[in-house]
Amino acid sequence: MSHDHHPIMRLAGVYKRFGDFTALHSVDLDVHEGEFLTIVGPSGSGKTTLIRLMVGMDEPTDGTIWLRSARIDQVPANKRPTCMVFQSLALFPHRSVGQNIEFPLKIRGVNQGDRKTRALELLSLLRLSEHYYHKRIGQCSGGERQRVALARALAFDPEILFFDEPLSALDYRLRKTLERELKDLHARTGKTFVYITHSLEEAMVMSDRIAIMREGRFEQIGPAEEIYAKPISRFVAEFMGEVNLFPVVKAADGLEGQGLAIKTNGHGAGADMQPGARGTLMVRPEAVRFLSVGEAADITVSGRLHSEYRLGSRNQYEVALADGRHVAVEALRQTGHAPPPGAEVTVGWDLAHCHLIAET
């Protein structure tokens, strides 16, 4: 699904302070119409504080929040065309599924017949049969409750749906199913989704863009693949999964890194660096391979195979270098046999699979 890249919501210079503690520092953000934006970051980075401001549960200490052309930073949540799906779901356990879905329509004064028609439409949209209409929430499974919460949120017909870690309490298999369903629901409704999660896997699967938060600021915002492959800092590189990082210096004829044999031929990572400039060369484990005798790669390093970990269809290997550093190698299990633990090995990768993080 394509979406409009004009911002539906804009935050400009937003601060949030609690006494002497500043939770958000001059945050700027454009949320594009129709996108699936996921905000991730470590605990305490400001994710929940930010989403509470965006949905109207709190007011910023400073800065402005706009919904299209209207300033809304002092408009309460119940006056905004937005809705939040909480981790706890906040469903009414003593009411039926239909009553839960209809609740926002009831408080708006919609008549009973129209409320039921809309509730049944939403049950169908969330792939729940009509018989769920009279079912009690306590009789529903975790996944069914999740779908009811989504149906109730959509009953508001909000312009933006906010999600505060709604899948975190579910088991792995159900979580994976609902990830796909949420992505499909986003495509079918055309709504703007803003999603908070600790799970990088969730973010990578569902998002159009990912925003990485660190200490109350955005460290990087961009498409999932861009953030994974071209992080702007060591923090983002390490936060987005397993990674190999090597300090390097630009030399007259290429890059120099401790323990690395590098041939650049004037191209690829570091080609635009000035001599003497320092940076960090990044390569993901899946781009590193074991080299047999006579096999070449742009960058090679030798060490001893330290350990092997089985990750389902993939294996991850850890190669210990002489200086105490480790290099991670990842490969599909059916791609051949790795050397046994303790063996001397040479691993390598190509500059096309590297990314250089410049020092600032």
Domains of the chain: 7-230 (3.40.50.300), 242-358 (2.40.50.140)
HSE at residue 115, side-chain half, CA atoms within 13 A, is 18
Distance CA(176)–CA(170), nearest Å, equals 10
Q: What pLDDT is recorded for position 227?
A: 93
Distance CA(290)–CA(286), nearest Å, equals 11
List the one residue out of 198, 141, 203 whose CA is nearest residue 174: 141
List the one residue out of 37, 82, 32, 36 whose CA is nearest residue 57: 82
Q: Token pair 């009953």 is at which residue?
A: 155
Distance CA(208)–CA(9), nearest Å, equals 16
Q: Beta strands 217-223 and 209-214: pairing type?
A: antiparallel
Read off the DSSP letter of residue 75.
Answer: S
> How large is the C-alpha radius of gyration of the chain?
25
Q: Are 242 and 287 in contact (CB under 8 A)?
A: no
Read off the DSSP letter of residue 93.
Answer: T
HSE at residue 156, side-chain half, CA atoms within 13 A, is 20
What does the pLDDT profile of the chain (360 residues) look like in tens digits? 445 557 999 999 999 999 999 999 999 999 999 999 999 999 999 999 999 999 999 999 999 999 999 999 999 998 899 998 887 788 988 899 999 999 989 988 899 999 999 999 999 999 899 999 999 998 898 889 989 999 999 998 899 999 988 888 778 888 888 889 899 999 999 999 999 998 888 899 999 999 999 999 999 999 999 999 999 999 999 998 899 999 888 776 667 777 776 766 555 555 566 667 788 999 999 999 999 888 888 888 999 999 988 887 888 999 999 888 999 999 887 655 678 888 999 999 998 898 989 876
Q: What pLDDT is recorded for position 1?
A: 44
Distance CA(76)–CA(71), nearest Å, equals 12
Q: DSSP H helical segments within the chain, as ranges?
A: 47-55, 97-107, 112-125, 142-155, 172-189, 200-206, 224-229, 234-239
